[in-house]
Amino acid sequence: MTPAERRTGSVLAAIFGLRMLGLFLVLPVFSVLAARLPGGDDIMLVGLALGAYGLTQAFFQIPFGLASDRWGRKPVIVAGLLLFAAGSFIAATAPDIQTMIAGRILQGAGAISAAVSALAADLTREQHRTKVMAMIGASIGLVFALSLVIAPPLAALIGLSGLFVLTGALALGAIVLLFVAVPPAPTFAAQARVPFAVVLFDAKLARLNFGVFALHLMQTALWVVVPPALVASGGLPGGEHWKVYLPAVLLSFAVMVPAIIAAERHGKVRPIYIGAVALLILVQAGLAVFGTGLYGIGFWLLLFFVAFNILEALQPSLISRLAPPAAKGAALGIYNTTQSLGLFLGGVLGGWLVKNFGASTLHAACAAIGIVWLVLATRMQAPQSRST
């Protein structure tokens, strides 16, 4: 990678990380602290406030991606971060749970994931694009692990309102970082515009879209069952779950980095991609049969993070390489929309299956979805390099 590519990857990873840190800081403490607001005794409204962000993300990813193709990446990213910051400040000053829901809806409207990923693709060569996507994915994993450690004491110090103020401030800081450290993106105005339907119904892109849907459905479903299992089977209080999550995330990076290097440098994208999907199926089967005890859960969680981080790096890189250059924003918008739907349905499906049939049935359902994904993945061909 050139120094410019390394700097671009690092800065865009930092922008993603700042935004996601604000989100993740709220998650471990939201349901407890939001219950103290007027109307917060209704658990359905608290759940709606928590999930409203994901729903509006799903609605706005495609429009933001299309807008970034037409008007440029940076203006769209700035608009999204301003919406996110505005929603954060509304949530910080919310007098009741209904206003909190409105703030979370506005936060979700700042759907910049597609535009940031497209900007990363614009500013890096194909042979290094997966590394940049891995840097972004690693930043998300690290801030997630960090948030699990610092969120409870930070919430005790500044409260839920303070966390949302911090979230808004981090988003504004990301805007400054975008203008100071990220070079301008190239434009594709001279190229013919690609009809949206062509991108939406492209079979190669659709396989990857199903993949990210399945991946994040499994991820959300996992968080329905793992925390209670750590308490009931592992004997670990909720405030100490980071002792399992943090080592699992960090160790998974040690495995992910060589895998990504092998995928790019040695042309092993297809086998590593298929292997990671197969590993997810193994994890679901392992949790269903052997997922008891602190060390057992920790082992399967480590394998999940290995597969998850590899796929989080490979899939957006593949999308950006397969999509027409003038429609990368649209393609990544569709990709991130299916991701958001997977996050939402994973929680709904996970809760319903665990409540009615138990955790083993949930793992079996996720394994079945993984098998469908594996069949689709075996039909994937690594994209050919093209001049840029």
Divide the 388 residues of the chain into consecutive groups of 10 and give the mean pLDDT of each group: 78 80 73 78 73 78 83 88 93 90 88 81 74 73 75 82 90 88 67 75 89 88 79 75 80 84 79 93 90 84 90 82 78 84 78 83 93 91 56
Task: List the end-to-end C-alpha distance of the chain, in Å, as a whole number.
Answer: 16
Cα 79 to Cα 76: distance, rounded to the nearest angstrom = 5
Amino acid found at 99: T
* Four-CA torsion 329, 331, 332, 337, nearest 10 degrees: 120
- Do residues 341 and 146 make contact, with C-beta atoms less than 8 angstroms apart? no
Q: Is the dihedral of CA 322, 325, 331, 335 positive or negative?
A: positive
Angle between helices 294-322 and 328-357 (to 10 degrees): 150
Query: What's the CA gap between 326 and 322, in Å, rounded?
Result: 12
Residue ranges of alpha helices (H) inside the chain are 3-34, 43-71, 73-92, 97-109, 113-122, 126-181, 196-200, 203-232, 242-265, 269-290, 294-322, 328-357, 359-377
Fold observed for domain 1-183: Growth Hormone; Chain: A; (1.20.1250)
Torsion of CA 104, 110, 116, 118, to 10 degrees: 120
pLDDT value for 386: 47
Neighbours of 207 (CB within 10 A): 18
Q: In whole angstroms, what is the distance from residue 115 CA to residue 153 CA?
A: 34
Cα→Cα distances 67→59, 115, 139, Å:
14, 9, 25
What dotted CATH number matches 195-382?
A: 1.20.1250.20
- pTM to 2 decimal places: 0.75
Which regions of the chain carry the CATH code 1.20.1250.20? 1-183, 195-382
Residue 304 CB contacts under 8 Å (≥ 6 apart), including other chains: 222, 280, 283
pLDDT number for residue 85: 92
| CA dist., res. 89 & res. 344, Å (int) | 24
Dihedral angle, C-alpha 352, 34, 19, 207, nearest 10 °: 10
Report the SS3 class of residue 381: coil
